[in-house]
Structure 1
Amino acid sequence: MGLLSGVLGNASEIEPGKAQADFAQLLIQGERVEKAYQLIRDSFVFTDKRLILTDVQGMTGSKTEYHSIPYRAITHFSIETSGTFDLDAELKIFITGGTHIAKRFNKKLSIYELQTVLATYVLR
């Protein structure tokens, strides 16, 4: 991940194999990572069963909160592509109860690939 990209709040992609190993303690048997992204210290991982969000807390980063959101809890989602002067794309995920999550992506990443992963699992 580029430092400037991270400072600007844009997520960078993590190799699924690396994320599979890094999140092995959280995954159930047979669960596989489809896509993973990192935003400075925090990350979000799309598996074939759920979305996992990590929130690294404190100055030292020794405390981490993990959120697990099953795809069935996602009511809808939207993507916003980057434009000529807008250098980032955005993903919004709306969860049962009215909560939503918004993440920005570097123009180099394909927001369409992520949309396909979400559509594959949310629209089942």
Structure 2
Amino acid sequence: MGLLDGLMGNVSEVDISSVEKELEVIVTDNENIEKAYKLIRDLIVFTNTRLILIDKQGVTGKKVEYHSIPYKSITHFSVETAGSFDLDAELKIWISGTANPVSKQFKKDKSIYDVQKALASYVAK
């Protein structure tokens, strides 16, 4: 998966070293980035302690929202696959203390399963 996949809305795994440099200002000293996925210009980052959802906003992408979710706060999650007429797949994550899930849209491809598998491995620890 490469640049074209990212532009099409497909998620692709990202080299950890580039993400470490970008997130050095928010990652703690005893925290390690273990996996990262790019979705257009947003990122889904798995560390040894939390899930970080990075939403780059605006035309330039200089405004950034960092949504930090400790794994112990994730009560459950779901994957809704794309159908024949619905071309988007969706990942929903429920966090304790909130009624509505955090939601990420994916294009119709198999990469949502990679993210779901990573999420399952971290939440099940």
| TM-score computed with the length of structure 1 as normaliser | 0.74
The alpha-carbon distance between structure 1 residues 22 and 84, as it changes in their structure 2 partners (threshold 3 A), is same
Aligned pair 1:2/2:3, yes or no?
yes
Q: For residue 120 of structure 2, give the secondary structure of its aligned residue in structure 1.
A: helix
Equivalents in 1 of 2:89, 2:55: separation in Å?
Answer: 21
Question: 1:107 aligns to what?
Answer: 109
Structure 2 unaligned regions, length at least 5? none
CA RMSD of the aligned region, Å? 2.8
Identify if the C-alpha distance between structure 1 residues 24 and 105 changes in structure 2 by more than 3 Å, giving closer, same or farther.
farther
Equivalent position of 2:122 in the other structure: 121
How far off its partner does 1:66 sit?
1.1
Consecutive unaligned residues of structure 1, counting only runs of 5 or more, are none
Q: Residue 61 of structure 1: SS of its match in structure 2?
A: coil
Letter in 2 for 1:99: N
Q: TM-score, normalised by structure 2?
A: 0.73
AA aligned opposite 2:43: S
